[in-house]
Structure 1
Amino acid sequence: MSLGPDQPIASPPPRVAGVVVVGMSMAVWWPAFTLGAWGVFFFDQILTVWAAATAALIVVIFRHHEDRNRLGRAAALLLPSLWLVLAIAVDPGDDSLNLVIDVLGGSVAVLGIPATIWVLARIIWPEFGHDLPLRRRLVVAASVAAIAVVSYLLGVNHDAFLTCDAFTLSGNSEPPGCRPA
């Protein structure tokens, strides 16, 4: 839809923010749950964020559209690659640097997923974040954060509603403290 220079851009309808909340929540729940249940992020979760962020980075770099935040978005999308390079390059015996890499990896897993989805939403619909009222942006962020926190707590308390067999049947390892069938 093309708007003339005199026409204001309408605020995205609430359903668009809802779609972004659902997408971000679907992406963040499993890493938060695994952190609660096993106490770690699985490598496939972090590498999934790396793949999505790298794909989004390619879109940001080669997009032929004026974008005043292009460098900031590119820098944010490079963080998972920075983690990967550091994880490969650092000597496994260097405990202090490995701690930094682990913290960065955890940040990539928890923050990288919603951030990548947000950047992609802004690429697909540039007006989305800009014209989204602050109140609605806060609702989006709070909703995703709430899903992440509840998912983490569900992971911590997995033995209240899941058995060891449920994890085994799904192809996962049994987390510490799982309840036998």
Structure 2
Amino acid sequence: MAGTLVIWWPAFTLGAYGAIYFNTLMTIWAVATTVLFSGVVLRSRGAIPWGGWIALALPSTWIILAIMLPRGGDFHFIQYFEMALTLVGAPILTWLLSKILVPDYATLSLFHRLGAVGATITVGILAYLLGEFNYLFLTCTDFSVSGNQPPTDCAERASIRRY
């Protein structure tokens, strides 16, 4: 569930706007850093494998790169890194959170462990598609009222009365 909370909004905004915004990346940073600190506290349990430590450090690496690299211009590497961090990071966070928080995680079958990550990936894909096809069920007003900039392809008004 935690991974789903991390992935749905960035996937939706990627579909609706073709971009992932900084507030989403900061949420992933907060979750990853919390799991990282929890892993330090619970390190005697061996809850996080070495690859997990690297994955959890990626959001902080993104922040350091964003501080060090020039803004604007033709340097788009950081934008691709942001997308990869978001779309790959949420399933990894789901896996690591499960490993840390579910005491019997190691006894679960591989099918059940992969199923949890698969559910997160599926929700991310569905959220992306909902963002891509937002005009089918949302209006520009829905975006404006929520405090978001309406995407270029939003529907001006609903074809049926919703309220």
For residues 51-100 of structure 1, the C-alpha deviation after alignment (integer angstroms, 9 at most, x for no partner) is 111121112123352417443322110011111100110112563xx322
Structure 1: runs of 5 or more not aligned = 1-21
Structure 2: runs of 5 or more not aligned = 158-163
Aligned to 2:17: 38
Q: Structure 2: how far apart are the matches of 1:82 and 1:174? A: 31
Conservation of the 8 A alpha-carbon contact between 1:61 and 1:74: no
How many residue pairs were aligned? 157
Q: Structure 1: how far apart are the matches of 2:62 and 2:43? A: 28
Conservation of the 8 A alpha-carbon contact between 1:36 and 1:156: yes
Q: Structure 1: how far apart are the matches of 2:59 and 2:52? A: 13
Q: Which amino acid aligns with 1:52?
A: V
Coordinate RMSD, CA, aligned: 1.9
Q: Whose radius of gyration is greater, 1 or 2?
A: 1
CA offset at residue 137 of structure 1? 2.4
Distance 1:120 1:169, change over 3 A: same
Q: Normalising by structure 2, report the TM-score.
A: 0.85
Aligned to 2:26: 47
Partner-residue secondary structure (3-state), 1:53:
helix
Partner-residue secondary structure (3-state), 2:123:
helix
Distance 1:64 1:32, change over 3 A: closer
Aligned to 2:78: 101
Q: Normalising by structure 1, report the TM-score.
A: 0.78
Q: Structure 2: how far apart are the matches of 1:115 and 1:154? A: 23
